[in-house]
Amino acid sequence: MPERARVEAFIAAVVSGDHVGAIRDFYTEGASMQENLGEPRRGREALMAHEAKALARLERMHTHPPRALVVDGDRVVVHWVFDAIGKDGSARRLEELAIQRWEGDRIAEERFFYDTATSWREVEAPADGKSAS
């Protein structure tokens, strides 16, 4: 079961933009991630490579501070909002719930839930380099 401070440190790493480092520092070696009902991706190295590849397609990813956080034993739920800023300056937003199972102070399983009909909807691209609203 994670300490709340450990979960908050994970969130701070993600919000800072260090998505790959957050996987390295906060996931178990055999961790898995699953998008909605998709096939899970498995293994920390594979998760890091997938994240790095996804981020390389973008100019940047802005992660908003979570809208909600629940820590209940070894289960954590985070309400994330991400703005993906494309190399062409376009911006798309994803809102998702991440449901995690922690083993001690690391994430062993994570499953993302989002509405595929509204995921990655277009938002106004920020003119000042900050997050889209």
Q: What is the pLDDT of residue 126?
A: 54
In Å, how far are 40, 47, 106, 111, 133 from 22, measured between CA atoms?
A: 18, 11, 10, 16, 25
* pLDDT tens column, 29-66: 999 999 998 999 999 999 999 999 999 999 999 999 99
CA dist., res. 64 & res. 27, Å (int): 21
Q: What is the pLDDT of residue 131?
A: 45
CA dist., res. 80 & res. 39, Å (int): 21
Residue 127 scores a pLDDT above 80: no
Q: What is the pLDDT of residue 123?
A: 79
- For the chain, the residue count is 133
pLDDT band at 125 (very low <50, low <70, confident <90, very high): low
